[in-house]
Chains A and B, each alone.
Chain A
Amino acid sequence: MARPMPISSDAVTRIAYPVLGLLLLLLLWQGYIALFDVPQAVLPRPLAVWNATVNNLPLLISEGRVTLLESVYGFLLAFFLGIPIAVAISSSRTLNLMFYPLLIATQALPKVALAPLILVWLGTGIESKLAIAWLVAFFPIVVDTATGLRSTPTEMLDLAASVRASGWQTFWKIRFPAALPFVITGSKVAITLAVIGAVIGEFISSNEGLGNLLLVANSQVNTPLAFAALLALAVLGMALYAAVAFIDIALKPWFSEVRH
């Protein structure tokens, strides 16, 4: 039946303790600079980072928007190409044997090493960033979805057999919905990887995005701005992760009996 609501004091500590942790870190940071007299170009004070963030907010938002779109599109590409491939390799033994080892091999390859080639093929526009984001986000979606499709509870398959469901019906009405929690788990990993992929793409060659801003700020020895860009990237990554995690939490009770 319904689980008891979390006690409010628990909710308070859940917010208060992380905030306390953050404050402690900021204090150590500030203390370190004061104690060792670190120049701003090497490590800016927390307040300087905050000021750089506030003063450059429009810039951070417009560059962040570029990185956001590259990450999201790259993720969506990985999602919509990854799921059919997972379906194919999990439903056909032949396809599985043919392509699964290849998939593992591509995963073992560091994607950064491919980035310069992708740049040659696709140019310096958004296409190359999408390709890199897609490449890194693709693998967890394929592997988790394929795992999900192969771990349908046997009782559910018995149910399908007992009502004489066709292979097609068993797939769409039982195996696929039962695999959705796995798809979401894969997506949570993939979305954070997609942001990394987009930034790698921007690092290699770009004139926009937070990755590019980071490089520009670094070359100008504007360390507070570089930190502000990092902060914006962290916020972006967490927001995207939270969006997928939110879907996960919303769907969780529906799949309570499928999870192992």
Chain B
Amino acid sequence: MVALSEVDYELRKGELVALLGPSGCGKTTLLRMVAGLTRPSGGSVIIRGREVTEPQDDFGFVFQSPNLLPWRTVLSNVLFPMEIKGRLDAAAKARAVELLEHVGLGKFLKSRPHELSGGMKQRVALCRALIHSPSLILMDEPFGALDELTRMEMHELLLDIRRLTGATVMFVTHSISEAVYLADEVLVFSARPGRVSDRIRIDLPYPREAALRYTAAFREYERRAGAGLGVLHHA
């Protein structure tokens, strides 16, 4: 089965690109191929001149569910990648605490995942993906299960983190407004076999604020993305 065909795209360093499309269009498959978690059946993913065949040390992955290890504390979940890489030192611990404080979880270092709300868990997952200062952050519909308000808070947090770290971000979503609000560029996918139906550069300046969501320019980008998805007919 071909989940994805004819995706030819150059990801620019420091940019935030959103992969927007319906379920089953292959956007998650593309993200997993970039992450090195899934091998493409044809074609290749090349990053910094090297073909990606397995996960890289400076990639950070945020899953659809928080995917925390329930038997570990919040702090030790965030430190998990460092533990695996054999870099569990004082500096790593200090950075984990700093990250958790930054996302407002400074008081929950010793809590277990089951004591946290969905939004808090996803913030822990975000810290875990950032602990080793990745240069590429891959996010697979990370806020899909959150309520609207929490989701908007997470948007601010993500843009904030991205401004501070300068990391490149690839973000999978099926929310039009989420894609437009966050991204420098939106890749719009159509359903099976997945192909890119539109590439939209979002020329809205950062830092972006919630009020932006209600401007005419924002609405126009949303309309164009909707047309690319096939939910609207081209005007």
Contact = CB atoms under 8 A, between A and B. Distances in A.
B199 interface: no
A165 B84 contact: yes
A237 interface: no
Main secondary structure of the interface of A (DSSP, over half): helix
Contacts of B166: none
Contact of B115 (A1, A155, A173, A180): A1
Contacts of B114: 253-254, 256-257
B130 interface: no
A164 to B, nearest CB: 5
Interface of B: 35, 37, 54-55, 57, 59, 61, 63-65, 67-71, 80-81, 83-85, 112-115, 117
Q: Interface range on chain A: under 10, 10 to 19, 20 to 34, or 35 or more? A: 20 to 34
A51 B88 CA distance: 64
B37 A161 contact: yes
Given A161-B37, A163-B81, A169-B84, A155 B112 contact: no
Contact of A155 (B63, B81, B117): B63
Contact of B67 (A155, A173, A253): A155
Main secondary structure of the interface of B (DSSP, over half): loop
Contacts of A173: 69, 80, 83-84
Nearest to A255: B70
Interface of A: 1-2, 155-156, 158-165, 169, 173-174, 177, 180, 253-258
A183 to B, nearest CB: 13
A255 B71 CA distance: 6
Contact of B55 (A155, A164, A180, A256): A164
A229 B35 CA distance: 64
Contacts of A180: 71
B117 A257 contact: no
B71 A164 contact: no
A257 to B, nearest CB: 4
Contacts of A177: 69, 71
Given A1-B115, A173-B83, A254-B114, A164 B54 contact: yes
A161 B55 contact: yes
B84 A163 contact: yes
26 contacts: A1-B117, A155-B65, A155-B67, A156-B67, A156-B69, A158-B61, A159-B61, A160-B84, A161-B37, A162-B35, A162-B59, A163-B81, A164-B55, A165-B84, A169-B84, A173-B84, A180-B71, A253-B70, A253-B112, A254-B70, A254-B71, A255-B70, A255-B71, A256-B70, A257-B68, A257-B70
Contacts of B63: 155, 158-159
